[in-house]
Amino acid sequence: MNKLKAGFGRVEVNPKLGTPISGYFHERLTEGYLDNLEANVLALSDGKETVLFIVVDNCGFNLKVQLPYREAISKEIGIPMKNIIVSSTHTHTGPVTKVDSGYELVDEYIVFLGEKLIEASKAAVADLTDAKMGYGLGKAENISFVRRYVMKDGSIKTNPGVNNPDIVEPVGRVDERVSVVRFDRADGETIVFVNFATHPDVVGGNLISGDWPTLLRKTVEKVIDNSKCIFINGAQGDVNHVNVHPKGGDFNGMFNDFDDVARGYAHSQHMANVVTGGVLQCFSKVQYVDVDEIIANEKKIDVPSNMPKKEDIPEAHRINDLHLAGRDNELPYEGMMLTTVVAEAGRMVRLENGPESFEMIINAVTFGGIGFVTIPGEGFTEIGMALKETEGFDIVIPLGLSNGYEGYFPMASNYAEGGYEARSSNFKAGVAERIIDEGKALLKSLK
């Protein structure tokens, strides 16, 4: 017997001009707006349990920001925290949301955003309406690419640049599946939930933009009548939009940016179009199922930290001090390699005196044969693909950057290879495999 109700809430969450922008290792301040940033909320209820999927156009919120938000929403609405998932799209043209950033505008924005999330969540719950649910899988081809490559000198380099002659082969694989869940409401409106995995770092610059996830939502709502779209990113830590060997018109609407990454706002619209195509491939042919029960739970885990070796600390401090003083030009690196070295040094300085481990939260929700499981940061594609293979579910949807933005989660083999993600990760090798094991176990416990 179908007991499902679905509701939707949406609010704008633009920062003020002058607010620092997150995503790079140099300061950028908001100079204007390409898109309105949004917080979108999907509320689902079976009459007894209500869950909230909240997603914000932002680079990421760590637990210091996440937990107070979830606590406040839980208190205001009366929904257990285990039933509340707060995600970030991971746009690199959204505001900084770091506690103790040193910027008054950031402190103001964190408070403002918390109030807006409560507003959107209340609206979604108030909007709960009888609904039926269907799910399906589409495909978005040739817009997501591995961003780690073996070079001719044997090293592993992240974002080596378009047409770099020293590229040998990619390390990793992409997942081009587009997971779609539609909720057809009794009032005639359809809520379209979309999940796809790749970095939203296509735009760049100092103008606020939700990147391709914002344009995806707009495009879906244009082509599907009377619809609202909500998007949550997947396991995207090692994949992005850069085709290092473009052909024909692949490079249209793009330019080579400062860090060897090709970017362009027009390309973000192209990506939105392609993912929308993946939605349309299955939208009218979804498998409809009854939802008679919603089950949610969470688990806290401790993960060992990637503390530096004693002998590496002096050089890490030298690099970090130069970077903080704005003297990157004195370091013998450029492009993405400069970013890698600076990020690694920052990690070493940050973890010089511990902690020895970090607490993370993993959440799982299941209903109608679908399983949702959170990844509290930037998981490598293999994490998402492994979670999707969890037995006992018709479809599993990994929710990246959800209920925590704790950094990169490379696979164990990636640490020996090197590259930006592994060298900067706060966590020791084994973190990805731990997330897979814990996520699968938590999902299965809800059956």
Split at pLDDT 50, 70, 90, the class of 47 is very high
Instruction: Summarize pLDDT for 111-158 with one digit per residue, the tens.
Output: 999 999 999 999 999 999 999 999 999 999 999 999 999 999 999 999
Q: Is residue 302 part of a domain?
A: no
Q: Is residue 303 part of a domain?
A: no
pLDDT at 250 over 90: yes
Say if residue 97 is in the same domain as residue 184: yes
**Torsion 112-113-119-123 (CA) sign:** positive
Say if residue 216 is in the same domain as residue 329: no
Instruction: Summarize pLDDT for 74-107 with one digit per residue, the tens.
Output: 999 999 999 999 999 999 999 999 998 999 999 9
Q: Is residue 87 part of a domain?
A: yes
Q: Is residue 142 part of a domain?
A: yes
Structural domain count of the chain: 2
Split at pLDDT 50, 70, 90, the class of 26 is confident
Say if residue 264 is in the same domain as residue 334: no
Looking from the CA of 380 toward its CB, the CA atoms found within 13 Å total 27
User: Which segments of 102-216 are extended strands (E)?
Assistant: 129-139, 145-146, 148-151, 156-158, 167-170, 177-185, 190-196, 207-208
According to the model, what pLDDT value does residue 334 have? 86
**Domain containing residue 424:** 5-297+358-445
Section 283-290 average pLDDT:
98
Among residues of the chain, what percentage have pLDDT more than 70?
100
Say if residue 221 is in the same domain as residue 363: yes
Instruction: Summarize pLDDT for 54-63 with one digit per residue, the tens.
Output: 999 999 999 9
Tokens of 443: 């999902």
Taking the C-alpha atoms of residue 252 and residue 269, their distance in angstroms, rounded to an integer, is 12
Say if residue 341 is in the same domain as residue 267: no
Q: What is the dihedral of CA 261, 264, 269, 273, to 10 degrees?
A: -40
Say if residue 163 is in the same domain as residue 219: yes
8 Å CB contact between 241 and 271: yes
Among residues of the chain, what percentage have pLDDT more than 90?
95
Say if residue 140 is in the same domain as residue 228: yes
Q: What is the mean pLDDT of the chain?
A: 96
Taking the C-alpha atoms of residue 100 and residue 112, their distance in angstroms, rounded to an integer, is 16
Say if residue 373 is in the same domain as residue 342: no
Say if residue 249 is in the same domain as residue 317: no
Q: Is residue 232 part of a domain?
A: yes
Say if residue 273 is in the same domain as residue 323: no
Q: Is residue 371 part of a domain?
A: yes
Taking the C-alpha atoms of residue 379 and residue 211, their distance in angstroms, rounded to an integer, is 20
* Long-range Cβ contacts of 414-417 (<8 Å, 24+ apart): 414/148, 414/171, 414/238, 414/380, 417/148, 417/156, 417/171
Q: Is residue 252 part of a domain?
A: yes
Q: Is residue 267 part of a domain?
A: yes
Say if residue 288 is in the same domain as residue 322: no
Taking the C-alpha atoms of residue 407 and residue 303, their distance in angstroms, rounded to an integer, is 12
According to the model, what pLDDT value does residue 419 have? 86
The SS3 call for residue 369 is coil
Section 18-26 average pLDDT:
94
Split at pLDDT 50, 70, 90, the class of 183 is very high
Contacts of 80 (CB under 8 A, 6+ apart): 74, 296
Say if residue 80 is in the same domain as residue 134: yes
Section 223-228 average pLDDT:
98
Section 333-354 average pLDDT:
91
Q: What is the pTM of this model?
A: 0.96
